[in-house]
């Protein structure tokens, strides 16, 4: 009889072992499925889709694998708002829309962000009293009863130290019921879902920062765009400015024209860098030159003043400038000083030659010297100054270069035609794509009759009006 008892024990042990193997296999498969779910949720959370679409995709992953129904709410200014809801096929056709439209029933401690806000709300066995606690009136209670909920879990979604939303999972018509192990997994799951809120918050911060940056850049761009050229009796002027890159990205090229004693000063320049830093240097250059020139009417002193202002900045700020003064009498020569800039070119029919020499760039040396040159501009001639963006522009044939620039200027008739010719040549050469800003300034004597100087006799001005 002993061998029968041993056989029975062995059979019982075999059954127990088989049962344990089955249990372990089920647990292993369940753990594997849960890891897969966490991976899929994490992948969705890192997507660049909208917040609502991402949460809908998460609900699609969780239903029906983890829950018969799933809702995700966000908390905005202390008020919950439902952003996603999904139910499995076992519910009525209207159940999902009803859950989507329903005002969330969330624990007050989660909404208010109290100390225990991360504590899950777990209904292991949903009772009638639980439904009454969740219901918002008699009609809502009837709807909740129709779901036949067996268990439900609500978990906080924490983003950057604050509860920003909740995840609710429930089981009903599938016959399943949640236990404490499911709550632990749901808690881990909520951390993955919270990544979506965290990412969306970071993206929102980045978008706000980018929007603010763009607004600042656009404002700077509007404020630093070259002003319309003034009408200067006896002179004809034309100019062009094309920034490279985005329209709201402030570049480093500029030109300006402003009155000084007995005439006008024209400047064209290029500062180092782009964006806000370039904008600050451009503003410094323009208004320093305006102030110094208005006080002295001397381009040399104006450049020296700007050089000192640039050296006083905490960072290295270089600026190349060509400054010209036009007399009210166009028969007088144009006075000019050039600091590290392309020299002005005198266009006389087919001949194109440099009208001045270029001295050192501004902002590099404390003891700088900038020579004053003079150029007589006769009728039919013109002075043309460009920033280096045009000669350094890249195309299929290489660089635009100074030789091509001079060839385009040869035979140019007037400032407006010259600027149009250069802009067209630049567009064609670069396929309308610039890597650097470009500014062009062209000046000639106009056909308008100049006002003759008033003769002076014995210190008394005599007009010709009799």
Q: How far is CA 159 from CA 48, 52, 165, 398, in A?
A: 17, 16, 9, 52
Q: How far is CA 14 from CA 9, 10, 11, 17, 21, in A?
A: 8, 6, 5, 5, 10
Same domain, 341 and 231: yes
Report yes or no on 24 lying in a domain.
no
Same domain, 180 and 262: no
CATH number of the structural domain spanning residue 368:
3.60.40.10
CA distance 443 to 299: 17
Pairing of strands 263-271, 253-260: antiparallel
Report yes or no on 460 lying in a domain.
no
Number of Cβ within a 10 Å radius of residue 322: 29
Same domain, 194 and 253: no
Same domain, 183 and 240: no
Quote the pLDDT of residue 389: 87
Quote the pLDDT of residue 200: 62
Same domain, 332 and 297: yes
CATH number of the structural domain spanning residue 95:
3.30.450.40
Report yes or no on 456 lying in a domain.
no
Report yes or no on 5 lying in a domain.
no
Same domain, 377 and 233: yes
Provide the domain count of the chain.
2
Question: Which runs of E-coded beta strand occur in 288-354?
Answer: 319-327, 334-339, 345-348, 351-354
Same domain, 423 and 301: yes
Report yes or no on 466 lying in a domain.
no
Quote the pLDDT of residue 161: 75
Report yes or no on 21 lying in a domain.
no
Report yes or no on 212 lying in a domain.
no
pLDDT in tens, the chain (466 residues): 455 567 776 666 667 666 665 555 566 677 788 888 888 888 887 776 777 888 899 999 999 999 999 999 988 888 899 999 999 988 887 899 999 999 999 888 888 877 666 889 999 999 999 999 999 999 999 999 999 999 999 999 887 778 888 999 999 999 999 999 999 999 989 888 887 777 765 445 444 555 555 565 555 555 556 677 888 999 999 998 887 754 445 567 888 888 888 889 999 988 877 666 777 788 888 888 888 887 777 888 888 888 888 888 887 788 899 999 999 899 999 999 999 999 999 999 999 999 999 999 998 888 878 899 999 999 999 999 999 889 998 888 889 999 999 999 999 889 999 999 999 999 899 888 877 788 899 999 986 544 444 333 333 333 233 3
Quote the pLDDT of residue 31: 77
Same domain, 65 and 185: yes
Report yes or no on 8 lying in a domain.
no
Same domain, 251 and 147: no
Quote the pLDDT of residue 456: 33
Chain position carrying tokens 């400047």:
267
Same domain, 136 and 237: no
**Enclosing domain of residue 316:** 226-448
Same domain, 69 and 170: yes
Same domain, 294 and 346: yes
Angle between helical axes of 2-45 and 51-62 (0-180°, round to 10): 170
CA distance 38 to 215: 40
Q: Are 110 and 156 in contact (CB under 8 A)?
A: yes
């Amino acid at each position: 009889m002993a061998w029968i008892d041993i056989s029975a024990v062995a059979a019982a042990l075999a059954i127990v072992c088989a049962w344990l193997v089955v249990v372990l296999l089920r647990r292993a498969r369940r753990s594997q499925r849960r890891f897969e779910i966490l991976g899929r949720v994490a992948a969705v959370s890192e997507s660049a889709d909208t917040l609502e679409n991402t949460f809908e995709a998460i609900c699609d992953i969780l239903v029906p694998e983890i829950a018969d129904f799933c809702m995700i709410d966000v908390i905005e200014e202390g008020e919950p708002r439902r952003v996603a809801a999904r139910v499995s096929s076992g519910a009525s056709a209207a159940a999902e829309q009803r859950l989507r439209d329903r005002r969330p029933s969330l624990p007050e401690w989660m909404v208010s962000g109290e100390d225990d806000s991360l504590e899950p709300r777990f209904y292991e066995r949903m009772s009638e009293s639980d439904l009454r606690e969740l219901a918002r009136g008699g009609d809502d209670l009837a709807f909740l009863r129709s779901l036949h909920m067996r268990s439900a879990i609500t978990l906080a979604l924490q983003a950057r130290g604050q509860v920003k939303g909740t995840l609710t999972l429930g089981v009903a018509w599938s016959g399943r019921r949640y236990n404490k192990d499911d709550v632990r997994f749901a808690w881990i799951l909520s951390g993955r879902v919270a990544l979506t809120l965290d990412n969306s918050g970071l993206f929102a911060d980045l978008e706000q920062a980018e929007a603010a940056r763009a607004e600042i850049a656009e404002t700077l761009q509007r404020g630093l765009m070259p002003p319309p050229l003034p009408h200067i009796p006896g002179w004809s002027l034309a100019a062009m400015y094309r920034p490279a890159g985005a329209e709201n990205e402030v570049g480093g090229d500029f030109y300006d024209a402003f009155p000084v004693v007995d005439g006008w000063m024209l400047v064209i320049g290029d500062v180092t860098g782009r964006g806000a830093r370039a904008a600050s240097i451009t503003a410094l250059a323009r208004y320093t030159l305006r102030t110094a020139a208005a006080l002295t009417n001397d381009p040399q002193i104006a450049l020296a003043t700007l050089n000192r202002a640039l050296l006083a900045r905490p960072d290295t700020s270089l600026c190349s400038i060509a400054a010209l003064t036009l007399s009210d009498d166009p028969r007088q020569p144009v006075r000019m000083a050039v600091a590290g800039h392309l020299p002005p070119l005198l266009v006389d029919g087919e001949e194109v030659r440099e009208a001045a020499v270029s001295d050192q760039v501004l902002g590099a040396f404390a003891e700088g010297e900038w020579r004053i040159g003079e150029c007589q501009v006769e009728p039919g001639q013109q002075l043309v100054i460009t920033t280096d963006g045009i000669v350094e522009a890249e195309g299929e044939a290489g660089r635009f270069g100074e030789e091509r620039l001079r060839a385009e200027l040869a035979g140019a008739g007037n400032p407006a035609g010259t600027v149009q010719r250069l802009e067209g040549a630049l567009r064609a050469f670069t396929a309308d794509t610039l890597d650097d800003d470009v500014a062009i300034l062209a000046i000639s004597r106009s056909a308008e009759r100049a006002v003759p100087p008033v003769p002076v006799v014995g210190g008394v001005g005599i007009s010709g009006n009799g």
